[in-house]
Amino acid sequence: MSSFEDFNLKKQLNYAIEDLKFSAPTPIQEAAFSVVMSGKDIVGIAQTGTGKTMAYMLPILQEITFSKQIHPRVLVLVPTRELVLQVVENIESFAKYINIRVLGVYGGTNINTQKQQCAQGTDILVATPGRLYDLALSKAVKLKEVKKLVIDEVDVMLDLGFRFQLINLFDLLPARRQNIMFSATMTDDVDALIDDFFTAPEKVSIAVSGTPLDNIKQVCYAVPNFYTKINLLIRLLKDKDTYQKVLVFVSNKRFADKVFEEMEVAFGNESCVIHSNKTQNYRMRSIRQFDEGKNRILVTTDVMARGLDLDKITHVINFDTPNYPENYMHRIGRSGRAEHQGNSVLFYTEKEEPLKEAIEALMDYEIPLMAIPENVELSEELIAEERPRIIEADNPNQNTLDSQGSFHEKKEKNKKENQGGSYQRIIAQKYKKPQTRGDKNYNKRNKKK
């Protein structure tokens, strides 16, 4: 097993590592260090929580020198605001004894404040793609001096629809730069991005995405529908001694709000919620209160699965079975961190059973099935997505699209077409102009009528 001494780090970095009480590098840190130092493009594949931030920042901090230049030399792109704050905090702890300026920028806050911060100068800029693109267009940040580009959690970034901003940002960056990409999963979209913008990258892969963690106990429940899931969730969470700090993952923002409303009724201010539609202040307050133990239950979506670094989570409850089996690994990886015992609970309906089987195939592990407790009411009420669709033959108004929302005819007032312009158009119709301006006889004929 190697140690940080093998990296021949400068003493300021060694002091910081001692303060952080890190004894030895993780496999991804060990594998990536020499490649990043060489200046080659690199693609790193590793599980969340394996020290990816330190894997790319140690060699960067080893090389970076003091400079008074205004615009950044290192650019780190991450998908969420929470991850920006987390990465900035990590870099500052690594660079504690180095004279390096680090700045984080993200959406949901005043852009003018961030423009002023950029004008003061920074060496390492950590940003979300959307906000960075806005700052670059307004000339508040110039990217032509960037020597190293880091894209962290690139698969999440593409899932969130940031491909457009990423491609436009690549056009603003200098052609001669080192590209460093880290991802927990490799998808077709990620491969396409690498093929288009990377030059002969070296791939470093540590551990298969589906490797189950030994210190996480997993169980599952076969549940008929949404409201039975709610009843089962409430029944489990009433055991406060067992379920002390619980992360509840839900498939989308609308369901997250519905689940949170039910938790609020059952447990009052013990629960909180975060997803991408919530404001920055609301999200940060929810995370802080959950982290400090003021809230016992945090309801969230997959978007947040890799933007959270929270300690001592006793249980991860998968209210919905994720569509991608790798996402299940990211979810349960929130529990069982730092050698603590973790617990994962999976709810799945008959429709979600193939998704559960895909997860088990990826892990090569069959999740133990638990019986629903007798005192849990099996609800017969179905939400819109669970109701059977009735297709009427020869009905011209039947909506044949397989959509989640219900279909109905527009009201008469909503059928009006927006033609633009103002009421002048109506006036022009009422008081028609002559067909030919110079035809005086035409005008006279119309007046006689």
Number of C-alpha atoms within 13 angstroms, CB side, residue 317?
23
Which pLDDT tens digit goes with each residue over 22-44? 888 988 899 999 999 999 999 98
In 16-154, the DSSP E strands lie at 42-45, 74-77, 102-105, 124-127, 148-152
Q: What's the pLDDT band for 412 if we cut at 50, 70, 90?
A: low
> Is the pLDDT confidence value at 82 over 90?
no
In 184-285, which ranges are E strands?
202-205, 216-222, 246-250, 271-274
Q: State phi, psi for 95 to the nearest 5 degrees.
A: -100, 30
Angle at 440 between CA 434 and CA 445, to 5 degrees: 75
Output Rg (C-alpha) for the chain, integer angstroms: 28
CA-CA distance, 332 to 344, in Å (whole number)?
6
Task: Examine domains 4-205 and 216-378 and report if their fold is the same.
Answer: yes
DSSP character at residue 298? E
* pLDDT tens string 213-255: 678 899 999 999 999 999 999 999 999 999 999 999 998 888 9
The reported pTM is 0.60
Domain boundaries, the chain: 4-205, 216-378
Question: 177 or 390: whose pLDDT is higher?
Answer: 177
CATH code of 216-378, in short, is 3.40.50.300
In the prediction, which pLDDT does 116 show?
95
Cβ atoms within 10 Å, residue 337: 18
Give me 379's structure tokens.
């609800």
Query: What secondary structure does DSSP assign to 54-80, as a single string?
Result: HHHHHHHHHH------SS-SEEEE-SS
pLDDT average, residue stretch 84-107: 93
141 has pLDDT over 90: yes
CA distance linking residue 415 with residue 402, whole number of Å: 23
Q: Which pLDDT does position 405 carry in this prediction?
A: 47
Assign a CATH topology to domain 4-205. Rossmann fold (3.40.50)
Q: Which pLDDT score, from 0 to 100, does residue 410 have?
A: 55
E-state strands within 227-268: 246-250
Contact between 218 and 191 (Cβ < 8 Å): no
Q: For residue 212, is it left (φ>0), alpha (ψ between -120 and 50) or beta?
A: beta
Total number of residues shown for the chain? 449
